[in-house]
Amino acid sequence: MPPHNQQVRAAAIPRTIWILGAVSFFSNSSSVIITALTPEFVIHLLGSTPEIMGYIRGFSESLSYLVKLFSGVFSDWLGKRKILILIGYSCAAIAKPMFAMSKGLGLYISAQILERVTNGLRDTPRDALIADCAPKELKGESYGIRQSFAFSGSMVGTVLCYYVLSKCSGSSAEIIRMVYLLAAIPIFVAVALIYFGINEPRDIISLKDRKGSPIKRSDVRQLGQNFWRYVMVCFVFMCSRYSEAFLTLRAQEMGLELRYVPLILAVMFLFNAPTSRIVGSWSDRHERKIFLAVGFCMMMTSCLVLALATEVWHLVAGVAIYGVHYGATQGTFYAMVADYSPPQIKGTSIGIFNLVYCLGTCVSNVVTGKLWTIYGASDALMVNAAIAFIAAVGIMFVKPNKVKGKLPA
List C-alpha distances in Å: 125 to 68, 79, 146, 175, 291. Answer: 8, 10, 14, 36, 25
Number of structural domains found in the chain: 1
pLDDT at position 353, please?
Answer: 87
State pTM to two decimals: 0.69
pLDDT at position 249, please?
Answer: 87
* Sign, Cα dihedral of 146, 188, 259, 310: negative
Residue 319 lies in a domain: yes
Neighbour-count burial for 235-253, b at 16+ CB within 10 Å, e otherwise: bbbbbbbbbbbbbbbbbbe
What is the distance between the alpha carbons of residues 211 and 390, in angstroms, rounded to a whole number?
Answer: 43
pLDDT at position 229, please?
Answer: 92
What is the distance between the alpha carbons of residues 82 and 322, in angstroms, rounded to a whole number?
Answer: 32
Question: DSSP secondary-structure letter at 204?
Answer: P
Residue 406 lies in a domain: no
List C-alpha distances in Å: 195 to 117, 128, 142, 153, 295. Answer: 20, 18, 21, 20, 35
Residue 146 lies in a domain: yes
Residue 221 lies in a domain: yes
Find all residues with CB under 8 Å of 289, minimum gap 6, and list them.
336, 395, 396, 398, 400
**Do 73 and 178 touch, CB atoms closer than 8 A?**
no
pLDDT at position 73, please?
Answer: 76
Give the residue among 353, 347, 368, 360 at the shortest CA–CA distance from 303.
368
**Cβ neighbours, 10 Å, residue 320:** 18
Residue 209 lies in a domain: no
pLDDT at position 34, please?
Answer: 80
Give the residue among 125, 116, 24 at the shortest CA–CA distance from 69.
125
Give the residue among 367, 301, 348, 355 at the shortest CA–CA distance from 328.
301
Q: What is the CATH number of the domain that holds 110?
A: 1.20.1250.20
What is the distance between the alpha carbons of residues 329 and 43, in angstroms, rounded to a whole number?
Answer: 30
Residue 178 lies in a domain: yes
List the chain residues with pLDDT less than 50: 1, 3-4, 7-8, 403-409
Alpha-carbon dihedral angle through residues 17, 18, 20, 24, given to the nearest 10 degrees: 140
Residue 206 lies in a domain: no
Alpha helices in 168-223 (DSSP H): 172-182, 184-197, 217-221
- The boundaries of the domain holding residue 275 are 14-198+215-395
pLDDT at position 385, please?
Answer: 96
pLDDT at position 307, please?
Answer: 95
Residue 2 lies in a domain: no
Please give the helix or strand (H or E) that residue 133 lies within, else none. Answer: helix 105-133
**Do 114 and 96 touch, CB atoms closer than 8 A?**
no
What is the distance between the alpha carbons of residues 141 and 13, in angstroms, rounded to a whole number?
Answer: 9
Alpha helices in 212-345 (DSSP H): 217-221, 224-238, 245-253, 261-283, 288-308, 312-340
